[in-house]
Amino acid sequence: MANLQSFPGAALHPTSDVATTPFPIALGTRLRDASGNEYVYCDFTGPVYNGVTVSISNDGNFTAAALTNSHRGSVGIACGAGTSDNAGWVQIYGRHANAQLASGDSAASSTMVCVAASSVSSPAAGMDAIAGTSDEVHQIFGMWPTAAASTATTSATSHTGVDIAVWLNYPYVLGWVTGVIDPTT
**Residue 11: helix, strand or coil by DSSP?**
helix
pLDDT at 131: 78
Q: Report how far residue 16's alpha carbon sits from residue 86's, in angstroms, rounded to the nearest whole number.
A: 12
Q: What is the pLDDT of residues 12-51, one digit of tens each?
A: 567 778 888 888 889 999 999 989 999 999 999 998 888 9
Give the Å distances, CA to CA, from 47 to 53, 80, 120, 137: 12, 10, 11, 25
Q: List the beta bridge partners of residue 113.
A: 130
The whole-number pLDDT of residue 156 equals: 59
Picking from 74, 77, 149, 67, the residue whose alpha carbon sits closest to that of residue 115 is 67
pLDDT of 148 reads 84
Q: How many residues does the chain have?
A: 185
The verdict on pTM exceeding 0.75 is yes
- pLDDT value at position 24? 87
Q: Give the pLDDT of residue 154.
A: 57
d(C-alpha 177, C-alpha 124), whole Å = 24
Nearest partner of 44 among 70, 11, 77, judged by Cα: 77
pLDDT (0 to 100) of residue 59: 93
Distance CA 138, CA 70 (A): 9
Low-confidence ranges of the chain (pLDDT < 70): 1-13, 119-122, 124, 132-137, 152-158, 160, 175-185
